[in-house]
Structure formats: structure tokens, C-alpha cells
Chain A
Amino acid sequence: MKILIVEDSPTMRRIVKNTLKRIGYSEFEEAEDGLSALTKLADSSIDFIITDWNMPEMNGLDFIQRVKSNSTYSKIPILMVTTRSVEQDVLKALEAGAASYIIKPFTPQVMREKINEILN
């Protein structure tokens, strides 16, 4: 399963990637914002997306909306991983099409649990 990690912080991208490796995933693509993530989606075959919310150029919420409105990619599950924990933000992400929501700082256990929930 190839996972696209969309995150503007290089440190967080590495942490997310290492966490995914620990829980058994090995194929990744990376993008630093929503706009470059859309290019990655067009260039490679992505099975799962993990996205941050606060990013320059195109934020995570707009990115989810763009993915979900495109019939080629709309079926790809999206997991939002962000610091934003206000109820309204969670609801907005779900409405936009996020399959689940993790807040930072997260643990590998939570990451594994959410991915499994989405895939099953």
C-alpha cells in the first residue's frame, strides 16, 4: 500500500514516515502542501493519504475537498493528522471527506488503530 504523506514540516514528515514503517508500511510519497500533493496524486498510484491541516499554498481541508471532488481520486481514504482539536474543525474535516482524525502529538498505537479502522 503506497501512502502519500502531506505535511509542511520536514520533521513531522520524517516522524510520520518512521511511525508508518514501525507499524508495517514501506511505500511512501511525500508532499509539503496540498498543491504539490495534487501533483503527486497525478504522478503516482496512491492508496492512502495522510494529511496535515495547516500548510501554505493549499491547506489540508482544501486539499481533501479537491481530492474528494475528483472522481479519479475520490475513493482514496484520507486520514487527517493535525494539532487542531476544536470540535468544529473535526466536523469540517469529516464533512470534507476525511475518513478519520488524529491529533498531534500522536502515538504509533493511535496511528495503527485509525489506519486499521479505515481499511477495515
Chain B
Amino acid sequence: MGSQSENKKHLPENVLDDIVKLVKSVDTMIQNFNSIRKPIKDSSTSVPKANQQLNKVTKETEKAANRMLDLVEGITDKEIETLSIVGDLLASAENLTEDEQCKLQKVQQNAEQVQNDTFLIMDSLQFQDITTQQIHHASSILDAIENEMHSLLRAMGEAFEGGNKLERQFDPNATMEDSKKRQRNIDDLIKSVKS
């Protein structure tokens, strides 16, 4: 076997240059890898934190929506009671003056208006389910990014245990927009299927 210096002598000059360039390039790559290792590692620990924050948002909005539902149900019950009392009083209208009847009718109209408005508030609370699905979609994207980062870090020689991911069921296209139009399209589709 020849020595290293002997081998060198057998290599053409241009190949030797290429090898030197290649070694330098690999060295730079290793340095680059090492310089991005820390930011990747840091980011990979930030992703679960972001997911935790999103979960908090979901839980807080759910709590808030349920508190609002408690209030709305309370108001609705009271309005039903009010409307029932006013209805009874108006039924015995012969004992009331014209002015008293007018006032009671006004109370009845107001109570009905409040009841309708509370129903509208209740309908609007459907936003909570839809935004939760949108948040779950965002969380699943973050999970995928975290998995990719862990794979990259493992390839760089870092030991990583994958944490347990929450099972999320969601519609990636969940939206509040154009619900009437989308319902009409579905109704047309159902009609065409059934006809």
C-alpha cells in the first residue's frame, strides 16, 4: 500500500482541487446544520406551546358561550313567564281601562321583541363550534410542522420523544360565511338526488 503522499502524486491536480472543495463544502454544510440546530430545537418546543394556547382559546370560548347560554335561557324563561302573565291579563280585558290595555299590549310587544332578540343571540353562538373546528385545523397543521421538525432533529442526531397528540375531529372548510346559499345548494342537490 502506498503512503498518502504517494497517492496524492497519482491524483490529477484538478481532482485534488475538487476533493478539497468538496471537503470544504461538507464542512460548511455541517457548520450550517449546527447553526440551525438550535433554532429548530427551540421552534420545535414552541409549537406545542402554541397548540396549548389554541386549546386554551377553545376552552375559554366554550366556557364563555355556555355562560351566555345560561343567561339567554334565563332571560327566555322569564320572558315566557311575562308573556303568559300579560296574556292572562289581556284575556280579562273587560276589567281593564283602554289605557291599561294599551300599556299591556306594549309590554307584550316588548317582551316578544326581547324573546326574539335572545333567540338570535342563541343562534349566533353557533360561532363557537365553527371557530373551534377552524382552531383544530390550525392545530393539526402545527402538529404536522412539529413532526417534521422532530424528524429533522432526529436526522441531525438529536434524540426526540414524540409527545401524545390530541385526536381532533374537524371540518377543514368550516365557515360561518354564506350559510344560506350553501344550504340552498344542498337542498337543490338533495332534490335532484331524490327525484
Contact = CB atoms under 8 A, between A and B. Distances in A.
Count class of interface residues, chain B: 20 to 34
Given A102-B183, A110-B183, A83 B66 contact: no
27 contacts: A10-B66, A11-B65, A11-B66, A12-B126, A15-B122, A15-B125, A15-B126, A18-B76, A18-B122, A19-B123, A54-B133, A54-B169, A54-B170, A83-B174, A84-B171, A84-B174, A85-B186, A86-B173, A90-B189, A100-B190, A101-B190, A103-B182, A103-B186, A105-B123, A105-B124, A105-B127, A106-B126
Contact of A83 (B119, B123, B130, B193): B130
Contacts of A22: 119
A62 B179 CA distance: 25
B179 A103 contact: yes
B112 interface: no
Contacts, number: 93
A108 B115 CA distance: 14
Closest 7 CB pairs between A and B?
A83-B174, A105-B126, A54-B169, A85-B182, A83-B171, A9-B129, A11-B65
B109 to A, nearest CB: 19
Nearest to B167: A56
Contacts of B190: 90, 94, 100-101
Interface string B105-131: 000000000000001001111111110
Interface of B: 62, 65-66, 69, 73, 76, 119, 122-130, 132-133, 167, 169-171, 173-176, 179, 182-183, 185-186, 189-190, 193
Contacts of B176: 105
A104 B170 CA distance: 13
Contacts of A54: 133, 169-171
Interface string A1-33: 000000011111011001100100000000000
A94 B128 CA distance: 27
A76 interface: no
Interface string A87-115: 10011001000001111111110100000
Given A83-B175, A85-B173, A15 B130 contact: no
B173 A83 contact: yes
B179 A14 contact: no
Given A11-B65, A54-B170, 20 more contacts: A9-B62, A11-B128, A18-B69, A53-B171, A54-B133, A83-B133, A83-B174, A86-B173, A90-B186, A90-B189, A90-B190, A91-B193, A100-B190, A103-B179, A104-B126, A105-B123, A105-B179, A106-B179, A107-B123, A108-B119
